[in-house]
Chain A
Amino acid sequence: MDPKTAMYIAQGIHGLAYGMILFLVASGLNIIFGMMGILNLAHAAFFMLSAYFCFQFVSLTGSFWAALLLAPVATAFFGILVERFLLRQVRGLGHMAELILTVGVSLVILAAVKIFWGTESLPVKIPPLLTGLVSIAGMDYPVYRLFVIGMALTVLAIMSLLLYKTRLGKIVRAAVSDAGMVSALGINIPLVFMLVFGIGIWLAGIAGVAVAPILTVFPGLSDQVGMDAFVVVVTGGLGSLSGAFIVAIIFGLLSSYGVQFFSQLAPVLMFLFMAIVLAIKPTGLFGERE
């Protein structure tokens, strides 16, 4: 295969990989925003927190795999605490109250990571099993990025099964549609919402672990991906996991091929796409709620 074609293929895979990272971050935000109606501006901060937990668990156990298991759970635990003791107190007071509260939570998390871990970049190395390169179309490609793609697909599958093929998923979706009716049927709605919030934060945790070996783990990590994730959620449509997935892939490809062909425009292509989509369909590509 000629080098130029190989380069284009590599860019496509880069786009997929970055798209998957965006999806991992955005999926949790999508679930929380779409299903609970909470604009959780602390989502990116939880993502960052998980990256720090990943560093800590790797340092303690020497195992990235242990961190992959434990860090999202730890992050979700903190998320559940936030929902149980903070967000629940302001439900019914409107979105502004939730927005302000989650901004505050974000700032607290940021301050906390500085206190516990400082401002310097913290290393999370790729596990030995995933180091190295594989040849794709004649061009070397990092194994770890392929792993990220696989992990995101796995998450998509798990979440789809959970939401659409299990009793729990049915309850969650029903609760989103008509909480009062579901409550009348004897379902503990606050518990359901706490669980949804926890799952959303767990997804942020998965994302944090996934990117820790690729990006510098530092207090600004949330700023790097937070806006992009939000754009994915809005463009894909609130509550639509498939929407988030498809749009994340589109954005990833826009990013990589944008760099290749329209380098100066690359940073704005996703926003341009968002503007076009929202102009045509304000609820997002696959959204049902505004």
Chain B
Amino acid sequence: MFWKVFIPVVAFAVILGWGLPLAVAADLTKANASFEVNKMGDMSDFDPNKPVIPTGDTIKIALVASFSGPAALVGQIYYISVLWAAHDINKRGGILVDGKKKLVEVIKADHMGKPDQCKKICERMVLQDKVHVLWGTDGSHLMKIINETANKYKVIAHNTASLTDDLQDATNFSRYAFMSSFSTDQIGRGLANYYGQRKKEKKFYILCQDYMFGHAMAAGFKKGLKEFYPEAEIVGEDYHKLFLTDFAPYLTKIKAAGAEVVYTGDWIPDAANLLKQSRQMGITLPFAHIFLDEPNFLHEVGVDGTKGLVQLSQMYTDNPYFKTPEQIKYYKMWNDLWKTKWQAPFNTKLFEHGGGNIGSYNQQTYWLLSVIERAASTDPEKIIKVWEGDTYRFVNGKTLKMRPCDHKAIQDLYVAEFVVPDEQKVDFNIPPHHWFTGCSYAGPSAKIPADKVLPLMDEKLDRCKGKNGWGE
């Protein structure tokens, strides 16, 4: 009798133990659609300074971002990223939607980094320009406005760059808003997981921007340390105003606190000034970050000043970066144009490789366009139906899943340490075997599996009640 009971129980436990992880892993091993390099159009004439903008009956994407003011550079990064994808689709002849082949039109919508302007420009885009998608943006507080506008007028809002989890919580959720980027909770917990595995540094100082995003970044990291590295110590925590002029007082506090790592979500120009001023002050602490990667200011700081930075990025993968001929082909497609064709401002180091954040925004845009193609319509209801629960594989081989109940992206994350040029070949495995010669950059990477950093789910959101972290 004992064995009759014991054997089935053991069998059940084994099946559950082995089968469940496999079932979970299967979610990101298959993709409903993939970015396929060999299906790309002829990109040889792509020039972001001379964009070919179709008009008329087009699929209209409003690129809502800063194109003036302190964060204008960010808007420029978005622009080339989105424009590339649109140009590719247009060179293929467009997308069949609502019974017609339509080209993709990218419309700049400058919110100037201001909430009132953001609302104004979004409404103009929807009501006057009749855009189908509001693509955004630099600033979670602004993305909230974009999402609200999308919800009000029933158009799709595509969040590729605003990372605050609150954007998709019970209070702010909109059926029309999709967040294909990683989120603050994932980032914080991902980096905490990395340090918990590494166990090399123990004292952390949190320095973030004093707004929605910065506070969310900090919260995610603190939560992650408790989860993955409970013996770690947060020796200080500060929040500075956006576009800060002088970081010196904060840096002095950080140094005095005895921190071993500074965790920050700062983005341009704060990211540049923070790094630059810290090195000028002789502070060589590594930053755990996501946006301290703009090549121009990295080069200004130099190889030694950028060595040891630790970045979590949506576009990092297992080493090496290039694993297939198609990936090399895609990289060279971009890089060759940069070397031979593009003029200022797109001929700087920032745009040399088309990876990093540019690559992320680019691939997320391809995902959007793939969804529209498979929906065969610009009707937001049809797009929603396709996108909820969708899985898509980026050019780097990584698969993302759009969690159906709250429209957040589930994905493996990777963390890379910046190393000197000669050591970058561990990642950049094709000639010249380094990303940059004037600064340290991505080297050894570490994987944070998706199940370790599932996006924060607000259980108060009715759609998510009773669901697991995968939204199932």
The chain A residues found within 8 Å of chain B, CB to CB, are 3-4, 7, 10-11, 14-15, 17-18, 21, 110, 114, 118-123, 125-126, 133, 139-142, 144-145, 213-216, 218-220, 223-225, 228, 255-260, 263-264, 266-267
Contact = CB atoms under 8 A, between A and B. Distances in A.
Nearest to B294: A121
B371 interface: no
Given A121-B294, A267-B210, 17 more contacts: A4-B256, A14-B246, A18-B248, A21-B246, A119-B75, A120-B73, A120-B294, A120-B296, A133-B281, A213-B280, A219-B69, A220-B72, A220-B269, A224-B70, A257-B249, A259-B238, A263-B238
A69 B345 CA distance: 28
Given A3-B256, A119-B73, A267-B241, A259 B280 contact: no
A61 to B, nearest CB: 18
A89 B70 CA distance: 32
Contacts of B73: 119-121, 218
Given A120-B350, A121-B296, A218 B249 contact: no
Contacts of B70: 218-220, 223-224
Contacts of A225: 245
B243 interface: yes
B281 A142 contact: yes
B223 interface: no
Contacts of A266: 240, 249
Chain A to chain B: the 10 pairs with minimum beta-carbon distance, closest first: A220-B70, A118-B345, A259-B249, A123-B300, A256-B249, A14-B248, A267-B241, A119-B73, A216-B272, A7-B256
B71 interface: yes
Given A219-B72, A255-B246, A123 B344 contact: no
Chain A binding surface, main DSSP class: helix
B84 interface: no
Contacts of B300: 121, 123, 125
A215 B273 contact: yes
25 contacts: A10-B252, A18-B245, A18-B246, A21-B245, A118-B348, A119-B345, A120-B296, A120-B345, A120-B348, A121-B294, A123-B300, A213-B280, A215-B273, A216-B273, A218-B70, A218-B268, A225-B245, A256-B248, A259-B238, A259-B250, A259-B253, A263-B238, A263-B239, A264-B239, A266-B249
Interface in B227-264: 238-241, 243-246, 248-250, 252-253, 256
A121 B248 contact: no
A141 B344 CA distance: 37
Contact of B248 (A3, A4, A145, A228): A145
B117 interface: no
